[in-house]
Each structure stands twice: as structure tokens, then as C-alpha cells.
């Protein structure tokens, strides 16, 4: 009988290291939103650059990615990846204020409240009732 290879030698590390690498990392949604708001026309019509794919002429602004040809760009715009990115951009980017609100850290609300708002907050617990208004009213002179 021949020799057998030792079992249980598989380690599931490949996908973790691939996900962590930044070589093929795409732009985040807030960066793309900034590009769309400020310089969309400039990004669509770029000067020729030999270092970029397709000489920098075929750029998808929503995905932040260069393509080799116009046909590749048109195919990409019909793809599910592009449509998903458009849907995410319509939702809006995650802001610092939103993250602070979700963590319960928000600016204090120090505005002055009126009597009606305090009465509404505490319900009918006696604040602002007719009996208290009668007790706290100024005494009137009795006519003689």
C-alpha cells in the first residue's frame, strides 16, 4: 500500500486575506457622492492618460472605475453591480451625524420649553390644571 497524505491540512485563510487587500478596493459611497456633486463633468471628460485603462476615457462615475473600451463601459452600466451601486447612492452616504445619533451621542437639546410643552409631557398630573390656577391667582379686593 502506498503512503497517504495527511488529512485536515486545509486552512480557510485565502478569502480573508483577499478581502483585506487594498489593491482592488473600490471607492466608498461618500467619496463617490462627493465626486458626483462636485466634478461629474470633469470626470466624464478627462484628458488622455496612458497610465489608466482605456487611456482614462471610459470612466464610470457612480462606481469610480475605469474601463478599457466604450463597449465594456456600456456592458457595465447594464450589469447588476452598477445598478446596485446606483441604488446605494440614492439612499445616501452614511454621515458622522447619523453615526452619532445611532450611538446615542447627539448634541444636547438645551432650548427653553414653554408651559404647554411641559404640561403635555407630564400629562394631566396637575400641571396647569384649573385648581392650581385658582390657588395661585392673586387675591381680589372684596367690594364693601
Return the CATH number at 44.
3.30.160
**Is residue 53 in some structural domain?**
yes
- Do the domain assignments include residue 102? no
Note down the domain range covering 61: 25-92
Residue whose C-alpha is closest to residue 33's, from 57, 59, 61: 61
Inside any domain, residue 66: yes
Structure confidence at residue 130 (pLDDT): 53
| 85 SS3 class | helix
Ramachandran class of 94: left when φ > 0, alpha when ψ lies in -120 to 50, beta otherwise: beta
Q: How far apart are CA 49 and CA 57, in angstroms?
A: 8
Evaluate whether residue 19 is within a structural domain: no
Place of cell 384649573: 130
Q: What is the pLDDT of residue 95?
A: 81
pLDDT of residue 79: 96
Is 75 within the bounds of a domain? Answer: yes
Residue-level pLDDT at 58: 93
Q: What is the pLDDT of residue 76?
A: 96
Could you tell me if residue 34 is inside a domain? Answer: yes
Tell me whether residue 99 is in a domain: no
Query: What's the CA gap between 121 and 125, in Å, rounded?
Result: 10
Whole-number pLDDT of residue 48: 92
Count of domains forming the chain: 1
Residue 137 lies in a domain: no
Whether 44 contacts 77, CB under 8 Å? no
pLDDT tens string for the chain (144 positions)? 678 888 888 777 878 887 777 777 788 888 999 888 888 889 888 999 999 999 999 999 999 999 999 999 999 999 999 999 999 999 887 788 888 888 888 776 677 767 777 778 787 665 455 555 555 555 666 655
Amino acid at each position: 500500500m502506498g503512503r497517504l497524505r495527511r488529512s485536515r491540512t486545509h486552512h480557510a485563510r485565502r478569502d480573508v486575506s483577499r478581502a483585506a487587500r487594498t489593491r482592488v478596493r473600490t471607492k466608498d459611497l461618500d467619496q463617490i457622492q462627493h465626486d458626483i456633486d462636485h466634478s461629474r463633468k470633469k470626470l466624464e471628460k478627462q484628458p488622455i492618460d496612458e497610465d489608466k485603462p482605456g487611456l482614462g476615457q471610459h470612466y464610470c462615475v457612480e462606481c469610480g472605475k475605469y474601463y478599457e473600451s466604450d463597449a465594456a463601459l456600456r456592458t457595465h452600466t447594464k450589469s447588476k453591480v452598477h445598478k446596485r451601486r446606483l441604488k446605494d447612492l440614492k439612499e445616501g452616504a452614511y454621515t458622522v451625524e447619523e453615526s452619532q445619533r445611532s450611538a446615542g451621542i447627539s448634541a444636547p437639546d438645551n432650548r427653553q420649553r414653554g408651559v404647554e410643552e411641559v404640561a403635555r409631557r407630564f400629562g394631566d398630573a396637575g400641571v396647569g390644571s384649573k385648581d392650581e390656577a385658582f390657588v395661585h391667582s392673586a387675591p381680589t379686593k372684596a367690594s364693601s
